[in-house]
Structure 1
Amino acid sequence: MSRTSLSRFLIEQTRARQTPAELRFLIEVVARACKMISHQVAKGALGGVLGSMGTENVQGEVQKKLDILSNEILLEANEWGGHLAAMASEEMEKAYQIPGKYPKGSYLLVFDPLDGSSNIDVNVSVGTIFSVLRCPDKNAAGGDLSEDAFLQPGTEQAAAGYAIYGPQTMLVLTLGDGVYGFTLDSEMGSFVLTHENMRIPETTAEFAINMSNMRHWEAPVKGYVDQMLAGETGELKKNYNMRWIASMVADVHRILTRGGVFMYPRDAREPEKPGKLRLLYEANPMSFIVEQAGGASTNGYQRILEVQPQSLHERIAVFLGSKEEVKRITQYHIDAQK
């Protein structure tokens, strides 16, 4: 039986939807980089890649060896192809300029090279998140790009996806016309289409949140979670199960597969910050994927894809997944303002 490879899928998209060839080539390069990262993750202790580097990224987070390695893999794979004008990563303070010896393209790539890296040393699923933006015309003609080129709302994304490195390595992708999942066939060495038109159920009885932070949450989140924990005796009249992996890729992949709501709210420990997750590297690409799969995503008050970024490493609260629950937690926040 003939199977559809990622390359064939992208070529067919080019024909059917007039997807630019430059975007197709870019996605293929990102996919190859994800295969390389998957290989390094799979080697673990055998490859000497576990443990910390003893350094911190711009977010003030301790960097794992695989954080640095994954970042380098993505940069080196994408800098020379002529598809990109610049890149930005969660692991780097400033945008990465394409070296002058290489041609520049019309797209921007932003990524979290290894999401959930705190799970690496305990052999729990981690992943890579990426987003593709069109480079504004005013920045396209040579020279270094300013940070402003990346500050586009999520509605402007040309593509987004993630790779999950678990029992199987998968690449989940949207080009703005549904969500498709590809599984890495290690014998063929290529990603093969295994999940067509992925959809998130509108209703759910599962939620994902770090309960250890409950004492720091704002009132709307506390009230909502209290009602879920009350089960059939509460206002929501049903029992919920909690799942939490501490890897956004893994938690969102579960929701994309069987439904649920993922929550990473702001909390009182850093009141000056509107949330923990990064808008450009995590919230926007995942929100694009979730919406394309029939789900919803807000920051508690506003659709995340409509938020205008103000800085490269801006943070945001995230509530995404099954529409019914995202609508409910958003209403809790809106009601609290009245």
Structure 2
Amino acid sequence: MYTLGEFIIENRDNFPYSTESLLRLFSSIKLAAKSVHKEINKVGLTKNIGSSGKMNIQGENQQKLDFFAHKTFIESFKHRNVVCGIASEESKDIIIINKKKNTLNDQYIVLIDPLDGSSNIDVNVPIGTIFSVFKKNYSCEKKVTINDFLQKGIKQILAGYIIYGSSTILVYSVGNGVHGFTLDPSFGTFYLSHPYISFPKKGNIYSINNGNYEKFSNGIKKFIEFCQKKDKNNLYTSRYIGSLVSDFHRNMIHGGIYIYPKTELSPNGKLRLLYECNPIAFLTEQAGGKASNGYERILDIKPCKLHQRIPFICGPKNMVFKLEKFIKEYE
């Protein structure tokens, strides 16, 4: 059974840049993930639970573990000397890392949602971390700017997530399939457990917050009505956790579509393009699925600001195409 490091070395030809730099990136991710995993697993026994009493840049109530995860991942990336800039969903501005003498030539931009689904912390529902990595736009000698972060999702060289649930699993892709590694806490090692994950060709799960039904557009409503018609040829079932990582992980394995559309109150959608939609869209396509905002491919959207929100749909191709057809017909 491969460890994560062994798997990266074995498949080094699939990554066009330095293998050492990729190993350093994952060293940062693994170290931070294990710290967050440990903190989550004892959350009911510590004071690191509940609201921090502060609002984050998104205007959302920041949980204590949000801040812990943010700080842990940022510090971990800072000490591996391959990352020159970081953007976090919990931070208003980009974080520039000063170049050190032993920095590798391969310089990377990291965008991260340190703790997705943090509103579920108090009730022991699976939550996660989402990460996205780009090559810096220009020479390492030039200063990092906001434009290094505003790249189309198709330019990602690495994307993934960690899901903290009944087990802690790290899932990633460098553009050659999607692979999952489960943490063995007794050794602190991630082992390959889910090689070449792909969406089932036909899915039957739809994941959407039906509590917002009256605020949805007509196309979304018609799709939900279609899914709810029960007959022998239409056996869709609704499953919604409220944590993007958890919903996506289940749907990628069992076959289902995830939908977070625009609403009357959120005409631009709610999920962030850079921290959530781009990396999940990258994984979706690598797993044989499709990711869309209802009208266009997510990975082709040119970001215009750091915390941009968009409607988001991802899942098996046939389900996403069907929903897009409803949107086109009724909107």
TM-score range, shorter chain: over 0.9
Query: CA shift at 1:270, angstroms?
Result: 2.9
Query: CA shift at 1:320, angstroms?
Result: 0.5
Is 1:241 aligned to 2:237, yes or no?
yes
Query: CA shift at 1:332, angstroms?
Result: 1.7
Residue 295 (structure 2) aligned to one of 301, 307, 310: 301
Which digits, 9 at most, give the CA deviation of each residue in 1:18-42, with x for residues without a partner? 5422123212211221111111111
Match of residue 137 from structure 1: 138
TM-score, normalized by length of structure 1?
0.93
Which digits, 9 at most, give the CA deviation of each residue in 1:48-70, with x for residues without a partner? 21100011111101000000000
Question: Residues 1-338 of structure 1: matches in 2 within 5 Å?
Answer: 3-15=1-13, 17-21=15-19, 22-99=21-98, 103=103, 106-137=107-138, 140-143=140-143, 145-232=144-231, 237-271=233-267, 274-337=268-331
Query: CA shift at 1:187, angstroms?
Result: 1.6
Which digits, 9 at most, give the CA deviation of each residue in 1:150-191, with x for residues without a partner? 111110000000000001000001010000000001122110
Query: CA shift at 1:142, angstroms?
Result: 4.5
What is the SS of the residue equivalent to 1:232? coil
Are the aligned partners of 2:81 and 2:99 in contact in 1 as well (CA < 8 Å)?
A: no
Which digits, 9 at most, give the CA deviation of each residue in 1:93-152, with x for residues without a partner? 1001114667475110000000000100001100000000110015x3253x22111111
Aligned partner letter, 1:141: E
Query: CA shift at 1:13, angstroms?
Result: 2.0
What is the SS of the residue equivalent to 1:196? strand
Are the aligned partners of 1:203 and 1:324 in contact in 2 as well (CA < 8 Å)?
A: yes
Are the aligned partners of 2:81 and 2:100 in contact in 1 as well (CA < 8 Å)?
A: no
Residues of 2 paired with 1:231 and 1:282: CA distance? 33
Are the aligned partners of 2:8 and 2:23 in contact in 1 as well (CA < 8 Å)?
A: yes
RMSD value, Cα: 1.6
What is the SS of the residue equivalent to 1:128? strand
Query: CA shift at 1:219, angstroms?
Result: 1.0
Aligned partner letter, 1:230: K
TM-score, normalized by length of structure 2?
0.95
Aligned partner letter, 1:217: F
Which digits, 9 at most, give the CA deviation of each residue in 1:242-279, with x for residues without a partner? 001000000000011111000000100133xx211000
Q: Which runs of 5+ in 1 are unaligned?
A: none
Residues of 2 paired with 1:221 and 1:290: CA distance? 21
Are the aligned partners of 2:277 and 2:298 in contact in 1 as well (CA < 8 Å)?
A: yes
What is the SS of the residue equivalent to 2:53? strand
Residues of 2 paired with 1:173 and 1:112: CA distance? 15
Aligned partner letter, 1:260: G
Residues of 1 paired with 2:321 and 2:27: CA distance? 35
Aligned partner letter, 2:86: M
Q: Which runs of 5+ in 2 are unaligned?
A: none
What percentage of residue pairs aligned between the two structures are identical?
Answer: 37
Query: CA shift at 1:14, angstroms?
Result: 1.7
Are the aligned partners of 2:135 and 2:157 in contact in 1 as well (CA < 8 Å)?
A: yes
Are the aligned partners of 1:130 and 1:160 in contact in 2 as well (CA < 8 Å)?
A: yes
